[in-house]
Amino acid sequence: MDMSGFIWTREPERCRIGADRVEIVTSPHTDLWQRTYYRFRNDSAPVLQMETEARYFSFTVRTDFSESARRFDQCGVALYLDSENWLKASVEYENGRYQHLGSVVTNRGYSDWATTEIDASIRTMWYRLSRREADYRIECAEDGVSFRQMRICHLERGGGRIRFGIYACSPEASSFRAVFSHMALTDCRWPAHDGQPPDSPRHSGGEEARHG
């Protein structure tokens, strides 16, 4: 994948961009999070992204976090619009027994966090981020082939020109080397929905409100 069009939001002190891989050495106390539950706001993680107006696409990347060793060390895929509107997916280190495979979606300055526990022996993960207008699907795979859905979400400000790519950070007093490879931008791998048709305008909440 041509990396010449990628730009940094907060370039890390230590990184290396090659023809087929990116390495980021995280700095301590870097993170992305907004308000929810913890009541703090962190907007310090480095994010490397490209811009696009394409309304349908899929972006795939392999992450290697073999060196992560402190709680919340993480690296993965990101779509960062600004400090209050973004999404990310990663494996976050927890302890020697398990880690959290999860994703965060932030709209208008409030983050959620959806996770599942995976074994601590897993040290690489593939992600596929797919866009259909302002809706997004995040998938993961341990082998780069058998992708499984992590979540479908909507970004309130994600319907126009966007930026997407990769990120890495260490929220606590730690640092590790994150390696990204096998990055690819393809046609959308998220098929159009073929089940229940969309609601008609006259049955939408807004239409009902106008008619009492």
pLDDT band (50, 70, 90) for residue 201:
confident
Q: Is pLDDT at 133 greater than 80 in this prediction?
A: yes
Q: Is pLDDT at 209 greater than 70 in this prediction?
A: no
User: Measured between alpha carbons, how far apart are the two ends of the chain, in Å?
Assistant: 53
pTM for this model (two decimals): 0.92
CA 40 to each of CA 31, 73, 78, 85: distance values in angstroms, whole numbers, following the listed order: 11, 18, 20, 16
What's the whole-number mean pLDDT along residues 169-180? 98
Cα 126 from Cα 91, distance rounded (Å): 10
pLDDT band (50, 70, 90) for residue 63:
very high
**φ, ψ (nearest 5 deg) of residue 209:** -65, -40
Partnered with residue 105 across adjacent β-strands are 87
> Which bin fits 205, alpha (ψ -120 to 50), beta or left (φ > 0)?
alpha
**pLDDT > 90 in the chain, percent:** 92
Q: What is the pLDDT of residue 205?
A: 44
pLDDT band (50, 70, 90) for residue 200:
confident
> What is the set of domains in the chain, with CATH numbers?
7-210 (2.60.120.200)
Q: What is the pLDDT of residue 206?
A: 43
Question: Which residues in 181-205 are b (16+ Cβ under 10 Å) and which e?
Answer: bebeeeeeebeeeeeeeeeeeeeee
Do 150 and 165 touch, CB atoms closer than 8 A?
no
Q: What is the pLDDT of residue 207?
A: 37
